[in-house]
Each structure stands twice: as C-alpha cells, then as structure tokens.
Amino acid sequence: MFDALARERDTALLDEDELQQLISERLEDDPVFHLSNGRRARITVEVDDGKATLRGLVRTALDRRRADIIARALGAATVDNQLAVEERGEPRKKLRRVS
C-alpha cells in the first residue's frame, strides 16, 4: 500500500519548468510583494533538481521569508533564498551607463 501511495504522489509532482512557473506566478500575484515606491518586486525564480533559487529585491525580511515559504509550499524541496531586503531611508544609487 505504501508503494502505491508513493507512486501516486510522485506522478502528481510538477516538473521543474511547471514548478518554476507556478512559484513565479504566485509571487507576482501576491500583493505583499510591492516595494516602497509602489512598484512590484522583481523576483526571479529558477528551479533545478527540486531546488528553487529566489533572486531579487523585497521590502522586508518578512516578505523575504514569505517568498521562501510560498516556494516550499508549492513543492520546492529546498530553497536558496538570495532575495535582498530593500534598505529604507537611503536613496537608491543611480547606475551609470558604461559606453
């Protein structure tokens, strides 16, 4: 019986591309992920061998943790959370273009 349940669970798992898409969509749709300037946080998601890597910028450490929890809840076996937390009170530096 246990083997039958394990096989059923394994067939129901998403492939890496589907999992990556699902996590990306959930993070994009979640209203929590807005920066202080009113724009949406840009979070990139990569999934490789069940490991989700999250990169980008979020408002708070709580938002960073929320993204981690969402990725795990949707099926990521592990999460490499490389999200940076927006620093408040400091103006963002302008990037210079190099010709």
Tens-digit pLDDT profile for residues 28-51: 989 888 777 778 888 999 999 999
- Report if residue 79 sits inside a domain: yes
Single pTM value for the model: 0.72
Q: Which residue has the higher pLDDT, 42 or 88?
A: 42
| Domain housing 36 | 16-85
- Give the C-alpha separation, 76 to 64, whole Å: 16
Alpha helices in the chain (DSSP H): 2-12, 16-29, 61-73
Residue 2 within a domain: no
pLDDT digits (tens, 9 = 90+) for 1-26: 445 444 444 435 678 999 999 999 99
CATH number at residue 69: 3.30.1340
Radius of gyration of the chain (CA): 17
d(CA 76, CA 22): 11
Q: How many domains does the chain have?
A: 1
- In the numeric block, the tokens 């724009």 are attached to 39
